[in-house]
Amino acid sequence: MAQPPALNLSHLQWRAPEFLLAFGSLSTPQLAMEYFSLSPFFDKASNNAQLRMQMMFSRGGMEGVDEEAELRRFVGLEFVIAYSTPPDLFIVHKRNRTSPTDSTVVGAFYILNGNVYQAPTLFEVLNERILTSLHALSTSFDSLTALKPHWTPSKLYTWDIKPPPQASTALAAAANGEPAAEDAVMREDAAADGAEQGKDAVQTAVKEEDEEKERPGEAFNPLLFRALQDVARTMEQPQVAGA
């Protein structure tokens, strides 16, 4: 009769706070195995359960019993502590024993800080990694397909080469009817030259005004100027004969 497939409990986390409060911490591998036997990951039909039942009637418990050595007398499923760093980490192997010297690991569990988990199988780890890689490749191909240039009979596949940022800014400004950066610079230079010329003209006018203020009042006599004009007009008139 074929055995039913094992239940997948990889999504389950188990913890017994009352056990940890009673014993303080998992200080030894034997105590960790006792703790593990209370979890849903433990198989009640395993060799460990049979051994515990035998020791309960013959010795009153598992105290002082080398469980791993005693399990070599049985054939079938067993649980052993394969690695331990008390009180934090314990790795439990589920084995199928066929002889006192031969056994095959069929599952793994671990106890981390009082929490019991089922370790993923190698198939599950590789499956998740491959799926993640395939998703990344698919996303990359989608991105490349979106950026692929269009094909034309004359140019075939041509990539759209974008202009440098400065040139693209000037083209965008020209398309929007805005003055280019060079035109704005020329306007600023012309405005600066005009301001300098206006400043020079103002300084010249102020200088001439100052010179007129400094000129003495006797330098120009309007009465003398009019007399000289009258003499000049008289000399220009022709003299009448016999006058």
**Contact in structure between 95 and 78 (CB atoms under 8 Å):** yes
**CATH code, 40:** 3.10.450.580
When pLDDT is cut at 50, 70 and 90, the band that residue 243 belongs to is very low
- Output the CA angle 216-219-220, nearest 5 degrees: 120
Residue 192 lies in a domain: yes
pLDDT tens column, 80-91: 999 999 999 999
pLDDT tens column, 102-131: 999 999 999 999 999 999 988 989 999 999
One domain for residues 137 and 102: no
Residue 141 lies in a domain: yes
Q: How many residues does the chain have?
A: 243
**Contact in structure between 35 and 14 (CB atoms under 8 Å):** no
**Where does 119-195 show beta strands of DSSP type E?**
151-152, 156-157
Element (H, E) at 131: helix 122-147
**Contact in structure between 67 and 74 (CB atoms under 8 Å):** no
Tell me the C-alpha distance between 90 and 79, whole Å: 12
Average pLDDT over the chain, rounded to an integer: 79
Q: What is the mean pLDDT of residues 36-56?
A: 92
Q: What is the pLDDT, as a whole number, of residue 172?
A: 61
Phi-psi region of 99 (alpha: psi -120 to 50; beta: other; left: phi over 0): beta
One domain for residues 105 and 183: no
Residue 147 lies in a domain: yes
Q: Which two tokens stand for residue 101?
A: 């010297």
Tell me the C-alpha distance between 145 and 137, whole Å: 12
Q: What is the mean pLDDT of residues 66-93?
A: 93
Among residues 91, 119, 147, the one where a domain terminates is: 119
Q: What is the pLDDT, as a whole number, of residue 152?
A: 72
One domain for residues 51 and 92: yes
Residue 242 lies in a domain: no
Which residue segment(s) compose the domain that 224 sits in?
166-233
Q: What is the pLDDT, as a whole number, of residue 94?
A: 96
Axis crossing angle, helix 165-175 with helix 181-214, rounded to the nearest 10:
80
One domain for residues 142 and 201: no
One domain for residues 200 and 219: yes
Q: Which two tokens stand for residue 108?
A: 């793994």
pLDDT tens column, 151-205: 777 777 666 666 666 655 555 666 666 555 555 556 666 666 666 666 666 666 6
One domain for residues 173 and 209: yes
Residue 197 lies in a domain: yes
Q: What is the pLDDT, as a whole number, of residue 230?
A: 76
Residue 2 lies in a domain: no
One domain for residues 139 and 73: no
The CB density around residue 17, as the number of other CB atoms within 10 Å, is 8
The number of domains in the chain is 3
Least confident of 56-65, 210-219, 224-233: 210-219
